[in-house]
Each structure stands twice: as C-alpha cells, then as structure tokens.
Structure 1
Amino acid sequence: MNRDAALAGAAVGVVLVALLASVALPGVLADPTEDGPVRPGPVRISEVNIGSDDAQVRGGTVTLSVDTRIEHHGNPTENVTLLVRAVDSESGLVETSRTVDVGTLRDDAETAVTTNVTVERQGGYRIETVLYQDDRRVDESGKTVSGLEALTPAYARSDVRFSETNALPPLSFSVARADAGNNRTTLELAASLTNGGDDRSEDLQVQFVLRQAESNIVAARTTAGVGAIRPGRTATTTARVTVPRDYNYYVDAVLLKDGVVVDSARTAANLDPTKRISVNETETEVELRVEDFEGGGNGGGERPTEAGGEPTDASTPGFGPVVAVVALLASALLARRWTQ
C-alpha cells in the first residue's frame, strides 16, 4: 500500500471518529468558555457617604441618604444585593433596614447605590452596609452618625434670631406710664431681631410673657407681628403690657414662625425698689443614681456619724462616762463594806 494513501486514510478516519463523537456526545468539541461556568469578578465596597436633605428633616424623624460605592472588576457578577441598616448606638437594636437589588455588574468601574433610611431624630446610629453576591456576604462597611436632634425640622427653619450683642440686647423695656392710683405700670417691650440668611423673612411673630418672680404667676401676655426683615438687617418689634406695680417680673419672648417656636430670649424687669432679680441662673442636670436611695426608706434607728465614728442608736439614749465612774466607785465601796 502507498504510504501517502495510508496517511490520507488515517486522517479520514480521525475526522470520521470526531464527527461520530460530536453526534453521540454534543458539546464535546464546543468552546468550553461558551456555555461552561464562568467565575464572577470580585466586588467590594469602596466608600460610604451619609447625608440628609433639609426637606427630609421632620419633627420626630429624619431620612438619611446612604450613598454606597461598589467596585467591580473582571467577569460579570450576577445577583448582587446590598443591605443597609441603622443600629441604635446606645441600645444596639436595629432601628430600620433596607435591601437593594443591585443586579449584574459588568464593567470595571464603581457603581453608586443610594439608599434612604428613616430614623428617629435623636441620639446616634451606626449605619452598616453589607454586600452580598448570590446570598453570600462578600464585604461590609459602616459609619456612625450622632447629634441628630441638632437638625432643624423644615417647618421650623428660619434665619431670623434674637440679636446677641452688648450694644443691642435681644430684649429691653421702658416704663411708658405709671398709674399710682390704680397700682399699675405700663411697660413698653422691645425685641431686637436679626436676619442672618439670604432671603426676606416672613410669617414671624413675637409672643411676650411676663411672670411675677416670686409666685411665677403670668401677669401679662401679648403677641406682636414682625414685619419682613431683609437679609443681614436688624429690626425691632415692640408691644405694651400693663402689670401691677412694685413687683419684679421675668420677661420671656418667643419667636414664632407659623406657630412653631424658632428662638427665645429672657430678661428681668425689676419694678420692686427693695428687691432685684437676675436671669443669669445656671441649671444643672443631675443623674439619678438608684444606689443613692437604697435603704433610705426603712426608718431605721441608726443615724450617721462623722468619719471613723460608730453609729449611735437614735431610739435609746446611752449612759455617759460620768455615770459609769460613779457606778464603779459605788460598787467598790459596797464590796468593801461586805468584806468588813
């Protein structure tokens, strides 16, 4: 047999075997990367930013915007989800949580995922973000926010405040009229307001309340409207009240915007010539400690003594040292008499 003919026949045989195998076992000669499993590319959390929109600040709650940056490289990664939860920093309890379906990540880039979580407007929280791929945790991160009570609700937001300068006090008063016969004094009250914002102020009122210093009884109350104040300007709002003379009063002024308290100020009106009061009082919060009261309500007979001393029975008086010496001498004399 010719050698070339033998080689040709062998080649034909290999081709026939390959064709028969492809028919009998489909996919044997297919590209393994075409239908076979592909390892997904790595994903991770690269950055987390937390912010709040002023419009989302309410009286009892605030909505935080959590912006999570997810970094992806390599082959497409399917079934990516992100869990965002707010954990109370004091109790450790989960306040709220949300799960976002990110889907499939294909590009070698970062993907921004924004999630809104609503929490109470007080205290602080740890915002935790957990990244999953096919329900398997692959990365996590977290940040802490605190002082949420300092955020001003949208309905109470105003750039107008009582002035705080030595030359222009926030509150002042003058005697407009004194009626000795009726024992009354009319005071003219003045509130100084400054607009520190960029817009004209509107819908503002000042409520004045006068309380007698010793009794805390409200002697007078009145409300005055505030005209529009241009940005950076200071305006004065006045009102008159009549109160009994020869008393001292605390004057409280409350700045209101559509019925919501925006700011407050206080001064003292000393109309009593023999006494004076001041508003420079300091209030200190004292933490209640339960152990300070333990055993204090049993009405026991012992009373405390100075350091190093022994407790003394408060219900029965004891014998003094003089009585003890007299008793000892009497016992000795009596014993001597019996021996004689």
Structure 2
Amino acid sequence: MKREWVFGGAVLGVVLATVLAAVLLPGALADRSEPQPDGEVRMEEISISAAEVGGERLTLATDVRLEHTEGISENVTVELRAVGLDSALVETSETIDVGTVDETSEVSAAGRLRVERGGSYRIEAIVYRNGVRTTTGSKTVRGTEALTPGYPDSPVEFHRFARHDFPAIDYEITDSGDDSATLDVETYVTNGGEAPTDDLTLVLKARQVDSGIVASEQEIDVASIGSSQTARPGSELTVPSGYNYYLDAILFEDGVVLDTARSGASLDPTERVQANETERDVELEVGDFDSDDQPDRDERESADEDGEGDADASDGAGPGFGIAVVILAVVGLGLRARGHTGGKQ
C-alpha cells in the first residue's frame, strides 16, 4: 500500500513540475522544429500612370509587383525614387512598407511620386528585406509636358453650338447715358457629365479693347446644373460709353479654371477700316439699343415730319453726296455752255 502511495505521489509531482515549467518557462516546451527558411522576393514589373496633372507638377502613381516564393520574408520594404534623366538628381522618393510575407504569392506595393511636369525621369524601385537590398528595377518616363492638366477634362464647359457659330456670351444694353452704359451679360454653360455640378463660380469681365483695361467685373455663384443640362448664368456690367469691349467669361470649379469664353461688345460709334486705315461713321448710338428707354415710333415719325431728318442730311455731317453733286452739276453746265458756243462758230 505504501508503495502505491509513493508511486502516485511521484506521478503527481512530475505533472506539477511540467505545469509549473510551462507557466514559468514558456520556451521550455517550445517547438524545436527547424526554423523556416527566408523567402525569395523577385520583382516582376513596374507600372506607372499619371494620377493628378497640374499646371506645374504631376503625381505619378507607381505599382511595383513582387513575386514571393518559399519560406518567410519579414520586414519587406520598397523604396521608390524619381531620378531626373538630365540632372541625375533624385527629385523625390517614398518608402512603402510591405510587411511580412509568408506564402507564395504576388504582392503589390503601390506608391505616389510628385514631380515637375515637363521633366524626364527614371523611376527606380529598390526592394529590402530586414534592411538588406534584395532586388532592384527601373522604368523611364518621358514627355510629361504633353500631359494636360486634369481640369480641362471636366465635363462642364461653355456651350459649343454645333450647327451655327453662335457666341457663348450674349449681352443686352439695358441702360445708357452720356458717360456710362449697363450691359446685361448672359452665358451658356453645359454639364456633359453624369452627375450634377457643384461649387461653380462665374467671373465676368468687360475689358476695353485697345488698352486691355478691365472696366467692370462681377463674380457670381452658379446654381447646380443637372446632367446633360445647359444653364444661363449672367450678371450686369456697367462700363463707360463710347468704347468697344471684350466680354470675358471665366468658369471656376472649387477654385480651378474649367473653361473660358470671349465675345465682343461694340459701344464705340466709330469703326476702323483696316484696308486703308481710315475711319468712317457707322451712325451707332448706344441709346438706340436701350431695352427700356427706346423712343416710341410715334415720336420718331413726328420728328421726321418736323424736318429734322432733312436738316441732318443737309448739314454735311452724314454720309450724303450733296457737295459732290453740286460740283459735278457746275462742271456739267460749263461743258454744255462751251459746246453750244462751239456750235455757233
């Protein structure tokens, strides 16, 4: 009986010792199998695309494809560098943390490099495992100056009339005086996209043709334009009378220029003829185009009956031929009288 108790106590002691060893010394019962070998990392390809194109700089989206085989690879990183082909200087760089790869698979390491538009670059990819370089690859990028900024690709623009060459800007003279005229300017803006517009701003400017001076300017918020819809935003511009103007329209979205348009507004009653560099009166009066202050037909007819039109025609200010006709008549009479005298002889 004593021998059984002694044997049982020995077994219990071994069990307790094993439990205590597992708690106090976790590594004592650890798997003593062979450690996994380091995996092999190879570079398959580098793909590059233009993600964001600005006026001066662009972003290159780079995707480095790695093939991992066998074992395990810890602390895998990829360093991306953009090296100028002309200067051989590193323009910018980025490090991508891939982490631990423990299976046979293809791994993607995506990064972004911001460079100047117009340059040529060699994009280098260097793969590290635990800080040790394992493989490298590169790809050349040229002709970035041909990449246009992203904002011209916007589906929102001033309308282009297909069948007739109508301007995208119309104007109406709503008020005029000796010193100033008010123009009601209207534009045509079309949203060719699939989503409504947002954060659109329209800037209208009246620029004097000869000097380029901006005589008037207005900035207005454009209401949302639905898909495949055309809106007609506009505003009033007050300018000095007696000059010709360019009407410039600039369309912004969230502070970026989307499109521009230009039309002309002729308020100068003098037209320059380029053929002989002379000037002729085209009898344009700004008041004739007032939408609210035009004289009635009865008033104009009564003025004609009073003889005001004849007075204007006889004073030589208009484009008539009164003086020339008189001179020709005198010359004709003289020639006729001479002819009669010759006949009598």
Q: TM-score surpassing 0.5?
A: yes
Taking structure 1 as reference, are residues 277 and 236 closer, same or farther at Cα in structure 2, changes over 3 Å only? farther
Which residue of 147, 150, 153 maps to 2:148?
150
Structure 1 residues 198 and 103, CA gap change in structure 2 (3 angstroms): closer
For residue 76 of structure 1, report the CA deviation from its aligned partner: 4.3
**How many residues are matched?**
238
Q: 1:99 aligns with which of 74, 95, 120?
A: 95
Offset of residue 212 of structure 1: 1.4
Check whether the contact 1:45–1:141 (CA below 8 A) recurs between aligned residues: no
Structure 2 unaligned spans of 5+: 1-32, 275-345
Q: TM-score, normalised by structure 2?
A: 0.56
Identify if the C-alpha distance between structure 1 residues 140 and 272 changes in structure 2 by more than 3 Å, giving closer, same or farther.
same
Instruction: Report how far residue 79 of structure 1 moved.
Output: 6.0
Are the counterparts in 2 of residues 204 and 258 from structure 1 also a CA contact under 8 Å?
Answer: yes
Whether the aligned pair in 2 keeps the contact of 1:248 and 1:276 (CA below 8 Å) is no
Question: What is the aligned partner in structure 2 of residue 247 from structure 1?
Answer: 243
Return the letter of the residue paired with 2:216: A
1:44 is aligned, of 20, 42, 45, to 42
Q: Which residue of 2 aligns with 1:222?
A: 218
| Residue from 250, 265, 271 that aligns with 2:261 | 265
**Residue 47 of structure 1, CA deviation:** 2.0
Which structure is higher in helix share?
Answer: 2
Contact 2:169/2:261, CA 8 A, preserved across alignment: yes
Change (3 A) 1:169 1:46: same
SS of 2:270's partner is coil
Residue type of the partner of 1:128? E
Residues 92/149 of structure 1: CA separation in 2 closer, same or farther (3 Å cut)? farther
2:189 to 190, 193, 197: 193
Report SS of the residue matched to 2:226: coil
Give the secondary-structure state (helix, strand or coil) at the position aligned to 2:233: strand
Please list, as runs of the form range in 1=range in 2, the aligned pairs for 1:301-340 lying within 5 A after superposition: none
Residue 138 of structure 2 corresponds to residue 141 of structure 1: yes
Give the 3 Å change call, closer, same or farther, for CA 259–141 of structure 1 in structure 2: closer
Residues 1-340 of structure 1: matches in 2 within 5 Å? Answer: 34=34, 42-51=40-49, 63-77=59-73, 80-102=76-98, 105-120=101-116, 123=119, 125-132=121-128, 135-144=132-141, 146-147=144-145, 150-152=148-150, 159-165=155-161, 167=164, 168-179=166-177, 182-275=178-271
Does structure 2 retain, via aligned residues, the 8 Å contact 1:246–1:273? yes
- Note closer, same or farther for the CA distance 1:90–1:206 as it changes in structure 2 (3 Å cut): farther
- Alignment-mate amino acid for residue 139 of structure 1: T
Q: Note the C-alpha offset of 1:234.
A: 0.7
Structure 1 range deviating more: 226-235 or 134-143 = 134-143
Matched AA of 1:268: G
Q: Which residue of 2 aligns with 1:320?
A: none
Q: Deviation at 1:105?
A: 4.3
Q: 1:277 to 1:271 in 2, by over 3 A?
A: farther
The amino acid of 1:263's aligned partner reads D
- Residues 156 and 193 in structure 2, CA contact (< 8 A), matched pair in contact too: yes
Q: Percent identity?
A: 37
Please give the root-mean-square deviation of Cα atoms over the aligned residues, in Å: 3.7
Q: Structure 1: any 5+ residue segments left out of the alignment? A: 1-32, 279-340
